[in-house]
Amino acid sequence: MDKKIIVKKKSTIKAILVFGLLGLFFLNVTAQKELPLIQVAPNKHFFQTSDGQPFFWLGDTGWLLFVKMNREEIIQYLDNRKSKGYNLIQVMVVHDLKKAVNIYGDTAFVNKDLSQPITTAGNDYKNAAAYDFWDHVEFAIQAAAQRGIYLALVPVWGSNVKEGMVSIAAAQSYAKFLVNRLGHHQNIIWLNGGDLKGSEKTEIWNAIGNALRANDPKHLIGFHPRGRSTSSEWFHQSSWLDFNMFQSGHKDYAQDTVEPRMGEDNWKFMQADYALQPTKPSFDGEPSYEMIPHGLHDTTAPKWKAADLRRYAYWSVFSGGAGFTYGHNAVMQFHNGQGVGDYGSKQDWKDAMNDPGAGQMQWVKKLVLSKPYFDRVPDQELIVSKQGERYERIVATKGKDYAFVYTYTGRVLEIQMGKIAGKQVKASWYNPRNGTYQLIGKYRNQGTQVFQPNGKQEAGNDWILVLETMLN
């Protein structure tokens, strides 16, 4: 055989082996990038990934992501949220059936009928005929996955259901379509409902929930309720509901006239859900948004600030919450800064993404994940002095060898020692504005101890007392 032919064959075989190994390498890299599923943890109060790691739901409300944002803007938004520690975005799949059209002009359904989604062959955004509404949704899901972010998908917003635009048959057909089209993505959670009480059109919500569960046994399903309510009021015993979500809402104490008057005390929702049987995770999935008016509709009213979001976060999480969802008036609607948006928004979402509260939520997540996670429980018995009403409320949580105590106003804290392990404890102040620690000192772990936060006692001078067991 000709020597050149032998050399050529050897070179070809070598090239095939090299490219084959490269192919396997890239396949492995791709496989490694796939996010694990989110599950309910064995303690039933929290979430974990399918590989057993703690998952603290730190969400943002990017409600109109699929319809108002192009591909470049989706990436810009997700990159920003990743940099701030968010691991989940709550998104409406269908906000308004009357005009379910995305920024590229792609319509989601035939004749506004949920049971007739419009799909095209191919997935090429450069070719309008081969890039449909659902391709754009999938692009966002995939872009989020690449950044370690999950999407909680609201199939259809409650206003459409309330207006009678969704039948039981259409709801079932649509839920099955969603699972078939999107259910292969690991980084999704189904979020039934959409700012409506579960007592309104209950049959539709059950139809969606049951159809999702029947066709998709692996992804979690929750329910987004109306303001000042929780999903547990209607669906806690439902087999399709994996976790509870409450919406503490946008009204202040004076504006809340509905019984029972929770006011701004979102910890009350969490406390009630935590005690329910069977045990299910729960958290505040929509508190007052940063820069939205108190009560929403009067644009001359005061606006909620970063300090308010911190208070909602720590109150609910320390009361047993499995996570927390932040929101911003301009970002949730992706207002472009031109004219006045809903609820008086004038900010451009690209600027609003960096408002103070948005960056401060990461310190909640980092604090609770800095200690053994699954044994953390709420414990108000740590507080010797009055637990306080309204803004003076103090909330405490602990694990075996640590405790966190939150004060929104910088109140003096009188703490019952001996509630965690060890003869001595180290005490520090944790700053919820920047995630820094300030050492207070070492204390005997018995009796009671008084701790005085820095600064003047007033709303927004919030601090977390951190107690840690000392080994020596």
How confident is the model over 73-131, as pLDDT tens digits? 999 999 999 999 999 999 999 999 999 999 999 999 999 999 999 999 988 888 888 89
**Pair 59, 323: CB distance under 8 Å:** yes
Binning pLDDT at 50, 70 and 90, where does residue 188 land?
A: very high
Binning pLDDT at 50, 70 and 90, where does residue 33 land?
A: low
Q: What's the pLDDT score for residue 69?
A: 98
- Domain ranges in the chain are 38-369, 379-469
Task: Establish how many alpha carbons lie within 13 A of residue 136's alpha carbon, considering only the half-sphere containing its beta carbon.
Answer: 31
Give the residue carrying structure tokens 């996010």.
35
pLDDT for 391-421, tens place per residue? 999 999 999 999 999 999 999 999 999 999 9
pLDDT for 141-152, tens place per residue? 999 999 999 999
Torsions phi, psi for 184 (to 5 deg): -80, -10
pLDDT for 335-391, tens place per residue? 999 999 999 999 999 999 999 999 999 999 999 999 999 999 999 999 998 899 999
Q: How far apart are CA 139 and CA 396, in angstroms?
A: 41
Q: What's the pLDDT score for residue 128?
A: 80
User: Secondary structure of the chain: what % helix, strand, coil (to 5)?
Assistant: 35, 20, 45
Tell me the percentage of the chain whose pLDDT exceeds 70. 93
Look at residues 166, 389, 78, 370 and name the one whose alpha carbon lies nearest to residue 261. Answer: 389
Topology of domain 379-469, per CATH? Immunoglobulin-like (2.60.40)
DSSP 259: S
Q: What's the pLDDT score for residue 14?
A: 41
Maximum Cα–Cα distance across the chain: 95
Round the average pLDDT of the chain to a whole number and report it: 93
Binning pLDDT at 50, 70 and 90, where does residue 21 land?
A: very low
pLDDT at 258 over 90: no
Q: Are strands 244-247 and 282-284 parallel, antiparallel or unpaired?
A: parallel
Q: Coil, helix or strand for 399?
A: coil
Question: For 38-369, CATH number?
Answer: 3.20.20.80
pLDDT at 23 over 80: no
379-469 and 38-369 share a CATH fold = no
pLDDT at 16 over 80: no
pLDDT at 34 over 90: no
**Pair 114, 97: CB distance under 8 Å:** yes
Q: What's the pLDDT score for residue 3?
A: 37
State the average pLDDT over residues 197-219: 98
pLDDT for 291-336, tens place per residue? 999 999 999 999 999 999 999 999 999 999 999 999 999 999 999 9
Element (H, E) at 387: none
Cβ-count burial 438-463 (b if 16+ within 10 Å, e if not): eebeebebeeebebebeeeeeebbbb
pLDDT at 7 over 60: no
Q: How far apart are CA 62 and CA 44, in angstroms?
A: 27
Q: How far apart are CA 114 and CA 195, in angstroms?
A: 19
Q: What's the pLDDT score for residue 27?
A: 40
Q: What's the pLDDT score for residue 127?
A: 83
pLDDT at 284 over 60: yes
pLDDT at 22 over 60: no
**Pair 84, 360: CB distance under 8 Å:** no
